[in-house]
Amino acid sequence: MGDPGHPAAPGLRERLRGAWNGLKTGERVLLFTVGVLLVFGMVFWVLAITGVSDVMRVRDVYEESPEADVGFHLVKQYGCRNCHTVLKVGEWGLAPELDGEGTRHPYMWIRAYLEDPRRQMNGKTLHDGRYAMDFTELSATEKDRIATFLFAQKSMPGSANYPEPPR
């Protein structure tokens, strides 16, 4: 094997044990925690991509139509995503998320909101013309297209945007 006068080089196990023993207690805890998190993350990822777990499944959907697509472009044009999140893009937490809006409210409610937000919300809205657009400058056709787009935002059970069941 080796030269009897020279000791054999330490194997991988001995080198790892020496490195582990050289760590302070806090470093060992941190290294162990990171290792456990990496293992759980990899298991979670494998389960998600193989379809065993549905945790990665999309639960918010957009029912596409030509009218809704025009409404989407109007939402972008008027800067709605400066405050709202739409199709997972925009400001988070500043104003209500609009994904799933078509599941939470019927089309006529959305359309009435675009006509007179203060009346529809009993005065409890920032869409009053001071803080956010009150929609008075929109044409009836633009309001129809935006309402169609918002109504096309659906949420499936399990989504954070799915409405709570009545109590």
Give Cβ neighbours of residue 50 (< 8 Å, ≥ 6 apart).
none
What is the pLDDT, as a whole number, of residue 53? 63
DSSP helix/strand/coil, 86: strand
Q: What is the pLDDT of residues 37-47, one digit of tens each?
A: 999 999 888 87
> Which of the pair, 51 or 167, is modelled with greater confidence?
51
Tokens, residue 2: 């080796």
Question: Residue 6 pLDDT more than 70?
Answer: no
